[in-house]
Amino acid sequence: MIKVRPGIVLTKICGEYILVAAYEARQFCPYTKILNDTGALIWECLTDNQSIPEIAEELKQSFDIPADINIEKTISDYLEILHVNGYLLYEEDTE
């Protein structure tokens, strides 16, 4: 199971989506990370506790994604980057 690290907030400033680490979350990840529209939608899906297949469906409905793209693998790879950078927690993580 993947979840958003407590203390991470998505905000939009001057047309850009930004992840901000507050409180104790600052010790685990950079203070800010800029996301594009796709990244912001993925983040919003994560905050709604959606699974990777559910996120893939949201992306397919919102963006023109070529049929030859393995969207679920692309999402998994992206989530791994966010995890490594401290923004996400996996079930096996301990704080």
DSSP states of 20-47:
EE-GGGGGTS-SEEEE-HHHHHHHHHHH
Architecture of the domain defined by 2-90 = Alpha-Beta Complex (3.90)
Domain edges within the chain: 2-90
Question: Is residue 92 within 8 Å of 67, Cβ to Cβ?
Answer: no
Say what the pTM is: 0.89
CA dihedral sign, ordered 50, 57, 16, 32: positive
Half-sphere exposure of 74 toward its Cβ, with a 13 Å CA cutoff? 15
User: How does pLDDT run along the chain (95 residues), one tens digit per residue?
Assistant: 889 999 999 999 999 999 999 888 989 987 789 999 999 999 999 999 999 999 999 999 999 998 899 999 999 999 999 999 999 998 777 55
